[in-house]
Amino acid sequence: MCPHSSLKQEFLKKWIMGLQRCSFSKKNMSILERKKTIKLSADIAMASARNGTTRWSRALISNASKDGSDNRLVQQILGPESNTPVAAITNKARTRRALVCKKIVKRSRRQIRRRRRKCVAAAPVKAVTSSIAKHLVRKRTQVLKTLIPGGEFMDEICLIEETLDYITSLRVQVDVMRSVASASVRASEP
Amino acid sequence: MSSRRSRQSSATVSRISDDQIIELVSKLRQLLPEIRNRRSDKVSASKVLQETCNYIRSLHREVDDLSERLSQLLATIDADSAEAAIIRSLIM
């Protein structure tokens, strides 16, 4: 995958650097802790390889920084060249405002739906199927919003763009981790 | 009030950029492994979304499995020499 090779190298470099910064070579880590460190540093490396150009990467880093127990680890991995505090603060302020706005919109939508239900007669079949399709799309979009980091605050177009980028980055992450695993299996053979 | 305004503006936005949405959905279809193999052009949007969610979930699971495997592999060998060997073998 030619266009992905630079992304792969960038991800690998940041991931290895992150692991080294967590003093990964210390032998006194449990298996679970090691796995968490590997996964966290891989996710952070994948997000920081985007350099804050995409919303999901910023949301991923700020979500990881919000969690108290992981925050120290995240700061260690990102190192001195990070600018995370600013991103975390703006996301938090936006979160609170967005949640309040969403509640208001949800409440008014519920009232309007109740009023509309009272005066709707039997709808024609075509309208019913298209409304079922719309309902399915809306439901699945909601599920997608929970899967993409920071997806709850995006509109549809933005969500699809972020999904495209997120899937590409996830594939790169999986490819690199798989080749590292096979390389370490080969390295462990005598 | 503001809800009506937001609904109106979102409606006009989606009406204007319908083509953009179609283009994005087609790009998404190209990424998904299953739908790409099927030769139909009439894949519905909800199907694309469903396949996308399934694909993302399977990728998450794979990352999880791989980190578990790596945590076991890297525990048994010396970390410094392993990293050097890995980096050398991958970045040629």
d(CA B7, CA A4): 39
Phi, psi of A115 (to 5 degrees): -65, -40
Question: Which chain B residues are closer than 8 Å to A29 by Cβ?
Answer: 75
Question: Which chain A residues are closer than 8 Å to B13 by Cβ?
Answer: 155, 157
Out of B21, B52, B57, the one facing A157 most closely (by C-beta) is: B21
- Domain range list for chain A: 4-89+146-188, 91-121
Yes or no, beta carbons of B28 and A141 under 8 Å apart: no
pTM, full prediction: 0.71
Inform me whether the C-beta atom of residue A86 falls under 8 Å from chain B C-beta atoms.
Answer: no
d(CA B2, CA A108): 10
Phi, psi of A189 (to 5 degrees): -75, 140
Q: What is the pLDDT along chain A (190 residues), one digit of tens a residue?
A: 445 678 888 888 788 777 777 766 555 677 787 888 888 888 888 888 887 788 888 888 888 887 766 666 677 666 665 554 444 444 555 566 777 777 888 888 888 887 777 656 555 777 788 888 888 888 888 888 888 888 888 887 788 888 888 888 898 899 888 888 887 777 766 6
ipTM reported for the complex, 2 dp = 0.71
Yes or no, beta carbons of A164 and B91 under 8 Å apart: no
pLDDT in tens, B15-71: 446 777 777 777 777 777 665 555 555 667 777 888 888 889 999 999 999 988 888
Q: Which parts of A49-124 fold into alpha helices (H)?
A: 55-66, 68-78, 84-118
